[in-house]
Structure 1
Amino acid sequence: MRITVVEGVCAPDPRGSLPGRGAYLHPEPACLDLAVRRRAFPRAFRLQGTLDTQALREWVEARADSAAAS
């Protein structure tokens, strides 16, 4: 899954159409937790400080829930 930064927020980009630098991540909560713990997003986007990942977390968890229900 491709992720981009939109106004300081990590946003999922499943279609790959948002502009800017992108980072890739498996759409699984465990992979997201590891990336956040290792501070991978600021490094990937070449930004200082922390980024808000709440919207990304909600999207990943909703996707995981729908995959588990299927």
Structure 2
Amino acid sequence: MLEYRYKKWETQAKFWGRFCVSQSAGCRYENGRLMPPVLQLLVVLHMMKRLTDKDLEMARKILMLQSLDC
């Protein structure tokens, strides 16, 4: 994930924030902590360009409407 983030020239806060993950948790994942399987799936789909930032933003808005704030 670290190399992918570097290629995108993004900070940890920006990269991991799109997945509703804090900068500190993202740092731990980049340093070897295992990610939850659902997060792995989202990140891989994003890397494959099958899931866009717009898709993630729309999902985040739906979650906020349902009071499942991330």
Same fold at TM > 0.5? no
> What is the TM-score normalised by the length of structure 1?
0.32
| TM-score computed with the length of structure 2 as normaliser | 0.32
Greater helix share, 1 or 2? 2
